[in-house]
Structure 1
Amino acid sequence: MDCHDVPGIKIQEAEKAHLKDLAVQEKYDVKYLAYWVNEDSGKVFCLMKAPNKDAIQKTHLLANGVTACNIVEVEGGLYSAFMGNDLRDKDDLVVDKNGDVDRGYRFILNLDIIAVTRLSHFIDFDQLKLPHKPIKYAEQLILKNNGTVVNQLSFDRLIAVFNTPESCLLCAKEIQEEFLSHKEKYASNEWNFRFTMGLCIGEPVTNTDDRIFQKALNQSMWYGKIAENGKIALPVEFQEISVLCRTEMDGKGITVIDKSDQVFIQQLFDHINMNISKVNFTIAKLSKEIGLSRAQLYRKLNSMSNTSPVQFLRDVRLRYALNLIKERELTISEIAYELGFSNPSYFAKCFKEKYGISPSKIKVEV
């Protein structure tokens, strides 16, 4: 699947370009299958079968004198989960069930749940996955709101995709209301949970993606981590494209991320991910790399997530710890050092505060 930046593109122009691609596709053993046009953003996305990326670029160049901004390979299951069983008109333009043009964009919901146990004995790693009862109810609400669950992307969060911003936001609010209003239904004497949600608008392919919807998946995960416990975080663009969303976003349980804060969040996670294993990666260094004073970083992060930079960085490291424990390639001490903790005992203490159990008491199936 590829993407083209074509400011001002009209559907009729995209149709002509697609017909030119079809006329020369056999020369490079390429078969064009479908395409999406988003006139508002000036984006065109093409789906094709080809022996390699070079053949696709050569076909576009020969047919229309242009090349794609980026090309990614797509897996059948992942493609279907995000794009659905696409309907195409006689010229391969993708349309929805009403015959309207499918603009290609999708709306991602990332439900981030942290299980907290009060058990003191050894437990299986699977018990630290998303708690069963709330996830089952969330899946029901996703289906009710015409969403699709994308399970295979992560063990520690639930990801869903929607065709409209309204269905995505309304589903998130229903999940939020259910969990906050009936939390006792999902908790027990031995288990509890915390949750956040991050929503975002996604393009199938961007200029920097290595896989389909990669940027959108990252953003939804970042926004979920930024949000306070029990809240929904989403970009201001939801307000800009939907009158209903503009109304629904006016509430205490929602954090609206403006465009400057979106840039800040991407920089924040880019720098954290690059330095996650460094013991000497301090908040002072993080502030310097982002270009803010420590006081500015504290105010900015606290206003969005109600947490300090120190706590935020520690929480990100502890979420990575779950993945490393699951992989079972490192000892607990090695995991601590891998994630920038200078003291394994301190790492174990922080882990227990977050998840309710020491990392050494988690059993993992081989």
Structure 2
Amino acid sequence: MPIYMDRHDVSAEVTAENVAELHRQDLKVQHKFNCRGLTYWFDDVRKTAFCLIEAPNAEKLKEMHDHAHGEVPHRIIEVEPAIVESFLGRIEDPEKAKDIRLNIINDPAFRIIMAIESTMLSFKECDKQSLQQHTENYKIQVIETIRQFGGRVVNNKERRFLISFTSVTKAVDCALELSSKFSKIPEKTAGLKIGLSAGVPVTDKNTLFEDTVKLAESMCYLNAEISISEEVSDLYRSENLHHTTFNNRIYILSEADQQFLNRLMEFTDKAWTDTNLNVNGFERNLALSKSKLYRKMMDLTGVSPNNFLMRYRLKRSRLQLHKKNSNIAEVAYNGGFNSASYFSKCFGKVYGLSPSAYKDLLV
């Protein structure tokens, strides 16, 4: 049967004891609806509760809640248990709570999400063996550091990582440690871009932590080694009252710039394969004049709109080359390039070798 996670936005008066009792009521009647309550999370600060339930469909889940206590969820999404566990650390009630009549679980589902991308810009000097060895060493160092600070690896592929943290302090300190560890290595070999955002698993989107993950990954396009959202900055300061400054080691993305970045990435994600897309398209969709768009892009990303689009296309196209049966001409056209030769020219300028030579390194 499918597994669902639902979200309940509760009133200020609701306590952890109340939520635990609602969970107990669900378990008493779940068999009548062919459901199985796996576990729950409750955030007393943000007044949100999340239930993980195996059910025939979302309607049966609602019926169970309604029959048990009348608290129907505000949002339900279907989830994969392995993804839930990677983000949240469990998919069932903790062992220590199972034998207690009122199963109070002190665990909010709010998480700090870290995106890490390697800024390895040139593959020119690599051969297959050295690239594989370098990539393996890079992954080992990153994973060791993440575990040292209590992070959970959600995803790890093509030199990119997605990490979940319960502690904002450990997440920020981990980013600083990673930055220090890799700062001594030449950028063309193994620099990093790190983005940190925070949020809850179920919003109005269809996948877990979708908004939070997208923001963290988008921040890797900013002109900073470490970027954090304003919310993460505020949470860090609240946990570290004597903290004064990051000494320019961390860029704090303001709420206004976050909104711009979200719009920029949303539009680019949808339109990057269009061969007719140019700066005018960005101006229209972001409702900015050419000069204002240029200044904004330079301030945030360090590159012009044209260069941003080119690098975005090359990055996405490069990842397509990792697929076994990828055809270079198809990758070029699907990536918004008018010709395979122009794609190869641009690819070589940025990465130091042709797309075909890059594919040979991956085989």
How does the TM-score come out when normalised to structure 2? 0.86
Indicate whether 1:242 and 2:236 are aligned.
yes
Indicate whether 1:289 and 2:293 are aligned.
no
Instruction: Give the aligned partner of residue 206 of structure 1.
Output: 203
Indicate whether 1:80 and 2:97 are aligned.
no
Secondary structure of the corresponding residue to residue 353 of structure 2: coil
Secondary structure of the corresponding residue to residue 190 of structure 2: strand
Cα shift readout 1:156-189 (whole Å, capped 9, x = no counterpart): 3022221100000000001101211x215xx8xx
| C-alpha deviation, 1:196, in angstroms | 0.6
Secondary structure of the corresponding residue to residue 73 of structure 1: strand
Residue pair 2:337, 2:343 contacting (<8 A) in 1 also: yes
Instruction: Give the aligned partner of residue 194 of structure 2.
Output: 197
Partners of 2:158 and 2:123 in 1: CA distance: 21
Partners of 1:266 and 1:142 in 2: CA distance: 26
Partners of 1:251 and 1:341 in 2: CA distance: 41
| C-alpha deviation, 1:226, in angstroms | 2.2
Instruction: Point out where structure 1 has 5 or more consecutive residues left out of the alignment.
Output: 95-100
Residue pair 1:34, 1:92 contacting (<8 A) in 2 also: no
Partners of 1:320 and 1:167 in 2: CA distance: 31
Indicate whether 1:323 and 2:319 are aligned.
yes
Letter in 2 for 1:350: C
| C-alpha deviation, 1:128, in angstroms | 8.0
Letter in 1 for 2:192: F
- State the superposition RMSD in angstroms: 2.7
Residue pair 1:114, 1:355 contacting (<8 A) in 2 also: no
When residues 249 and 67 of structure 1 are mapped into structure 2, their CA distance, relative to the original with a 3 A threshold, is: farther
Residue pair 1:115, 1:128 contacting (<8 A) in 2 also: no
Letter in 1 for 2:266: D
How many residue pairs end up in the alignment?
A: 349
Instruction: Give the aligned partner of residue 165 of structure 1.
Output: 168
Instruction: Give the aligned partner of residue 2 of structure 1.
Output: 6
Cα shift readout 1:188-209 (whole Å, capped 9, x = no counterpart): xxx7233210111131222213
| C-alpha deviation, 1:216, in angstroms | 2.2
Letter in 1 for 2:198: I
Following superposition of structure 1 onto structure 2, how do residues 1-366 of structure 1 map, counting pairs within 5 Å?
1-8=5-12, 9-85=14-90, 87=94, 89=97, 90=100, 91-94=102-105, 101-117=106-122, 119=124, 124=128, 127=131, 131-152=135-156, 154-180=157-183, 182-183=184-185, 192-210=189-207, 212-228=208-224, 231-243=225-237, 244=239, 247=243, 250-363=246-359
Cα shift readout 1:50-87 (whole Å, capped 9, x = no counterpart): 22222112212333434323333333333222222463
Residue pair 2:218, 2:265 contacting (<8 A) in 1 also: yes
Letter in 2 for 1:171: C
Residue pair 2:297, 2:305 contacting (<8 A) in 1 also: yes
When residues 77 and 201 of structure 1 are mapped into structure 2, their CA distance, relative to the original with a 3 A threshold, is: same
Letter in 2 for 1:235: S
How does the TM-score come out when normalised to structure 1? 0.86
Cα shift readout 1:237-274 (whole Å, capped 9, x = no counterpart): 12322325673763212111122222211111111111
Give the % identical residues. Answer: 26
Instruction: Give the aligned partner of residue 97 of structure 1.
Output: none
Partners of 1:278 and 1:269 in 2: CA distance: 15
Residue pair 1:148, 1:161 contacting (<8 A) in 2 also: yes
